[in-house]
Amino acid sequence: MDPELTEIRRHLSGYPPFESLSDALLDEVADHIEVSYYRAGRQILSANQPIEALHYVRSGAVEVYRRTGDLFDRLGEGSLFGHYGLLRGQRVHYPALAIEDTLIYKIPRAVFDHLCEADDAFADFVELGRPRVDNTETRGQTSSLASTKVRKLVKNEPLIAKTTDTARQAAQHMATEPTAALLVVGESEDNPRYSYTGSDGALWQVMGIVTDADFRQKIVATGRSADTPIGEITNDQLFVIQSDETVQEAMLTMLRRNVHHLVVLHRRRPIGVVGLEDVVRFETQSSLYLIDNLLSQNTVAGLATLLTDVRQSAARMIREGADSRTVTTALSSIARSFMRRLIELAEAKLGPPPVPYAFIAMGSMARDEQTLVADQDNALVLDDAFDRALHDGYFLDLAKFVSDGLDACGYAYCKGEIMATNPRWRQPLSQWQDYFRSWIRSPAPEPLLHSNIFFDLDNIHGEERFVENLQDIISTQAAQSPEFLAAMARNALNRTPPIGFFRDFVMEKDGRQNNSINVKRRGTAPLTDLIRIHALACGSRAQNSFDRLKDIANTQLLGPGVADRLAYSLEVLSNTRLRHQVIDIDRGDEPDNNIEPEQVPDRERHEIKEAFRALSQAQKFLRFRYPKPSKNTPNQGRR
């Protein structure tokens, strides 16, 4: 490495995609840069001029424009531009202007080409604006007993005693720190498997552990002296587990051997002792345990106490890198279990229902996309034998019990009154069929705006067939109605994404800068709306947005790769939303959907910006794909 390049390398290596380049490639970049200064207000690149280099903002700020003159992006230190031009056509694609005094490092085309060839991550970054992924699942991994490493359960360094220490010394040692087990080591003897070099440089061998029970049974109960060497009361059977084994493996080992403590080894060095209670404590935060626990609650008050556990369980999954779909599916399953348990409790109180019914959920719960901020959207579909005068009292009580219970458990009342307590949404099946037929056949944008949530539909309890019947109507009729799709599309364009971030601000398309952004309203919600419309247009019966995108990808509706790009964008935005809710929880705030740019690291900023860009392009296509039909065009199937 050329020491003269240190200064330049150091700066480059602080920003994606250079941060992940090999040293050799980073040297090659630093070795070949050319440098230009631009005073504020000067044009850096003009449209259609030949482009010879990738531009890197070393200091200052740059605005990049579309050919139409619209602001495309505002870039600060460490950002790149010019790659679109280098990749396509070799001419400047987006003109660029220095908006502050700016220093640009230019990476010549030959080096750029070589980087694209030699480093896949670099190529993906400049070509796709994101890492290359085959499916969204690879982005994170499920958090569970089966995937968490046992080293996560090790909280403290092990307390270590020598075999020659007296029982008294050992007991005093254990009294200083809250631990249930003491690790006993002796001079290395016969078993190299458990031998390690201690911090004192000597060779030690793990002999076993001593627990409170051993003092009780082997010293006190037998009347032995407190001066007994601890080695004499150490369990001869040693059970160890490697630190990279899973928590599940630890639990199985304990069950199989009927022991309550395992020594955790990193290779041969002991790093701690894990007890059964550690595994149980871990398990109590998992969603499986939660669902089990909430199904055994007999009162609303009892259910409501689980809210903290729900949040902690989800927060843990998010911190451990689970992908958004895993987390939102878990949260949706938990919410369903809450609802089911509340319905069971209500029926126990109110008696059996007078006519069959289906309690249904809409919106994010139906899509399996709930986050830590969720309100309730539900309705009742009643058997057609329903007689309002006779039966509505029962169903109103049922609805109220469930809705109040959900609110008490952290699922706030729906502001739009989309709840079974609202008589409009507590109707017999035939009325629901009429609702859907009229929404689809004679759509008016405003009423649809309030009802598009009904196109995400899932049965929670009761007559599955009612819901299937309604889903049949949706999947067969929606695709046949261009007016309906056009009206839905129009509504889906009401909320648009910003451009991205610039320093600690959110950049709007008109150049305004804001301090925070509601990533649901400006990101996941419009994206979900858009996916729903394409899904309806191709007759998909899926509810989850990722499943819908898979169905859409099987048609010719979108260009090649577009569905993948949208899936990736949804994952990025959902993941960001979840992670910022965890930040809120960690700070002791009520979680919300806002994110503050200063809490978004550079790498994520880039991904989020690309996700917004994908959403923006998809919205443009939506407008074009589902135009408002003119009066005299005949209806066309839109598959």
Partner 1 sequence: MRPVREQNGQPWRAWLQAQSQKNPDPVLRDYYRRSVLDPVSAIGDTPLVALDFETSGLDPRRDVILSIGLVPFDLSQVYFSQRQQWLLRPPHNYDNESVAYHHITHTQALKAPRFESIYADLLNAIAGHLVVVHYHPIERGFLEQTIKGISNAQLRFPLIDTMAIEARRYRHGWRTRLRTLMGQTPVSIRLADSRRRYGLPNYEGHRAVVDALAGAELLQAQIQHHYKRSTPIGELWT
Which residues of this protein are in contact with partner 1, per CB under 8 A? 3-4, 6-7, 11, 31-40, 42, 58-60, 100-103, 106, 108
The gap from C-alpha 404 to its chain's centroid, in whole angstroms, comes to 28
CB nearer to partner 1: pick between 4 and 590? 4
Per-residue tokens: 101: 């005094």
Q: How far is CA 207 from CA 35, 177, 194, 473, in A?
A: 65, 21, 8, 70
Q: How far apart are CB 111 and partner 1 at their closest, in Å?
A: 9
Q: How far apart are CB 103 and partner 1 at their closest, in Å?
A: 6
Q: How far apart are CB 105 and partner 1 at their closest, in Å?
A: 8
Cβ proximity of 282 and 309 under 8 Å: no
CB nearer to partner 1: pick between 4 and 236? 4
Cβ proximity of 566 and 560 under 8 Å: no
CB nearer to partner 1: pick between 10 and 66? 10
Q: How far apart are CB 77 and partner 1 at their closest, in Å?
A: 8
What's the per-residue H, E or C state across 422-442? CHHHEEEHHHHHHHHHHHHHC
Identify which of 166, 181, 142 has the alpha carbon closest to the alpha carbon of residue 227: 166
Beta-bridge partner residues of 203: 197
Q: How far apart are CB 310 and partner 1 at their closest, in Å?
A: 48
Q: What is the distance between the alpha carbons of residues 282 and 290, in angstroms, rounded to a whole number?
A: 12
Q: How far apart are CB 372 and partner 1 at their closest, in Å?
A: 41
The gap from C-alpha 359 to its chain's centroid, in whole angstroms, comes to 28
Identify which of 309, 314, 369 has the alpha carbon closest to the alpha carbon of residue 336: 369
Which residue matches tokens 């048609």?
Answer: 555
Q: How far apart are CB 18 and partner 1 at their closest, in Å?
A: 16
Q: How far apart are CB 110 and partner 1 at their closest, in Å?
A: 11
Q: How far apart are CB 34 and partner 1 at their closest, in Å?
A: 5
At 61, give phi and psi (nearest 5°): -150, 145
Q: How far apart are CB 115 and partner 1 at their closest, in Å?
A: 15
CB nearer to partner 1: pick between 98 and 470? 98
CB nearer to partner 1: pick between 96 and 567? 96
DSSP per residue, 39-69 = -TT-EEE-TTSB--EEEEEEES-EEEE-TTS
Q: What is the distance between the alpha carbons of residues 452 and 172, in angstroms, rounded to a whole number?
A: 67
CB nearer to partner 1: pick between 106 and 461? 106
Identify which of 11, 603, 575 has the alpha carbon closest to the alpha carbon of residue 327: 575
Identify which of 398, 397, 457 has the alpha carbon closest to the alpha carbon of residue 429: 457
Kindly tell me the burial class for residue 343, based on how many C-beta atoms sit within 10 Å of its own C-beta (0-12, 13-18, 19 or more): buried
What burial letters (b/e) apply to 112-151, b meaning 16+ CB within 10 Å?
Answer: bebbbeebeebbbbbeebbbeeeebeebbebbbbeebbbb
Query: What is the identity of the amino acid at 283?
Result: E
Q: How far apart are CB 28 and partner 1 at their closest, in Å?
A: 11
What burial letters (b/e) apply to 581-602, b meaning 16+ CB within 10 Å?
Answer: bbbbbeeeeebbbbbebeebee
